[in-house]
Amino acid sequence: MALLDSTLMNSEVKSVTQGLREIAESGRIGRPVFVRWMATFVAGNESSSDLAEVALSDISSIFGTAPESYSTMGEGESGNISMICRWAGGQAALIATGVTSADQRPGLDIALIGSEGAAYHHDDR
């Protein structure tokens, strides 16, 4: 199975993020209050730090502002990163990025939770 390179993954993430932003702006799920963003990649194709920064930027665009605070745990370039983020309006996000094991495929799993519903994206490449 051919794995997607980082350019295609970034393109997919942008597309998914745009869709989630449109859902949030439409009001279909009420007020967005929480995002769980999990991305895994093949070692050497991405970096946990880069993926976490992309996720934080994309989530901030959904919430309309940068987070008030966040904490990061883990190793950046070769390992796993976990971030817990909080926004002034009460919103929160959990971001987890990391390397897949040899028997797993890379993937993207996002949950956008609103005050009146939720939207999900799950993709194993």
Q: State pLDDT tens for residues 6-25.
A: 554 566 677 888 899 999 99
Placement of tokens 């990061």 in the chain: 72
Q: State pLDDT tens for residues 19-51.
A: 999 999 999 999 999 999 999 888 776 788 888
What is the average pLDDT value for the chain, to the nearest integer?
Answer: 85
CATH number at residue 18: 3.30.360.10
1 occurs within a structural domain: no
Q: How far is residue 81's CA from residue 17's CA, in Å, rounded to a whole number?
A: 20
Q: How far is residue 123's CA from residue 118's CA, in Å, rounded to a whole number?
A: 17
19 occurs within a structural domain: yes
Do residues 74 and 14 make contact, with C-beta atoms less than 8 angstroms apart? Answer: no
- Residue-level pLDDT at 70: 95
24 occurs within a structural domain: yes
- The number of distinct structural domains making up the chain is 1
